[in-house]
Amino acid sequence: MQGVQYHTKILRKKGYIDDEYSLTKEGFHFLESGLLSLKDFVTNSLSKIDDLTTWEAISSGPVKEGDTVHLGMHDGYLYCSPTGNEPTTGVARNSANDGEIVLVSNLSGLISVKIGTVHVFVLSGMNAADGVVEIKETLVQGNVISITAGELSHTFANKFGLREDVRYGSFHAAFDAATRGVDAVILISERRFHYDVSEMLQLQSKFPEVNLKIKYL
């Protein structure tokens, strides 16, 4: 009760209500302004929520706005198609041709992703040539990206004809790829690995579903 009386005095002092506790013209404008601000806040909040629940996908074939599309992961990217057979569906918010971006909302179901593996090959030096065959065999096992971390691994890859898909942000790139269903091979020197191991362990803790394999060469 005291709280009500306190706020009533403030409203009267500011001229928003009169002595009979009726809303004044100034009070009406104050209320209208407050409600408009609340409306703007709600509208902006809903817009942000809508953005968070909208996904970007690559179209497989032509898509029309309003189509129900099926969603699936291919080569680490999310694709959608109105004629697919994936159980996960959504609604296209824009029209697109084959290979263009579609904004998809109202998702139903879980997108199936086969989590990848991060293979870390720790190089003792340029004399780790005995492991080249195993590295090459790993790189051709399905969808795999090759990552070099630092100068020694870059030089090692060049010397033995190993491809380099990624040269920077090695462990972050590898774990990101694995969560998208793509395996990753990281070449890294022993010296550099000792510096980066804490980063690797943090990512392993963040993404425990990712299979991590480490081999010293």
pLDDT value, residue 147: 95
Of 51-65, 81-95, 97-111, 164-178, the range with the lowest mean pLDDT is 51-65
pLDDT value, residue 217: 85
Backbone region of residue 142 per phi and psi (left: phi > 0; alpha: psi in -120 to 50; beta: other values): left
How far is the C-alpha of 191 from the C-alpha of 189, rounded, in Å? Answer: 5
Decide if 63 contacts 80 (C-beta within 8 A).
Answer: yes
Closest by Cα among 22, 116, 111 to 69: 111
**Residue 132 covered by a domain:** yes
pLDDT value at 17 more than 90: no
Which band of pLDDT confidence, cut at 50, 70 and 90, is reported for residue 189? very high
How far is the C-alpha of 45 from the C-alpha of 27, rounded, in Å? Answer: 27
- CATH number, domain of 199, equals 3.40.1010
Regarding whether 199 and 173 lie in a shared domain, the answer is yes
Regarding whether 162 and 102 lie in a shared domain, the answer is no
What six digits make up the tokens of 79? 């694709």
Number of folded domains that form the chain? 3
pLDDT digits (tens, 9 = 90+) for 68-101: 999 988 888 999 998 878 888 999 999 999 999 9
Query: What single DSSP character describes residue 91?
Result: E
Range of the domain at 201: 117-216
**Residue 172 covered by a domain:** yes
Regarding whether 72 and 18 lie in a shared domain, the answer is no
Which band of pLDDT confidence, cut at 50, 70 and 90, is reported for residue 213? very high
Measured from the Cβ of residue 167, the count of other Cβ atoms closer than 10 Å reads 15
Regarding whether 166 and 101 lie in a shared domain, the answer is no
pLDDT value at 52 more than 60: no
The whole-number average pLDDT for the span 156-184 is 92
Which band of pLDDT confidence, cut at 50, 70 and 90, is reported for residue 51? very low
Closest by Cα among 149, 156, 95 to 131: 156
Residues 6+ apart with CB under 8 A from 129: 160
Regarding whether 122 and 147 lie in a shared domain, the answer is yes
Give the residue with greater pLDDT, 5 vs 137. 137
Decide if 26 contacts 15 (C-beta within 8 A).
Answer: yes
Regarding whether 208 and 121 lie in a shared domain, the answer is yes
**Residue 50 covered by a domain:** no
pLDDT value, residue 5: 64
Regarding whether 209 and 141 lie in a shared domain, the answer is yes
**Residue 46 covered by a domain:** no
Using a 10 angstrom Cβ sphere, with 0-12 exposed, 13-18 middle and 19 or more buried, the burial of residue 66 is exposed
Measured from the Cβ of residue 4, the count of other Cβ atoms closer than 10 Å reads 8
pLDDT value at 9 more than 90: no
Give the residue with greater pLDDT, 38 vs 56. 56
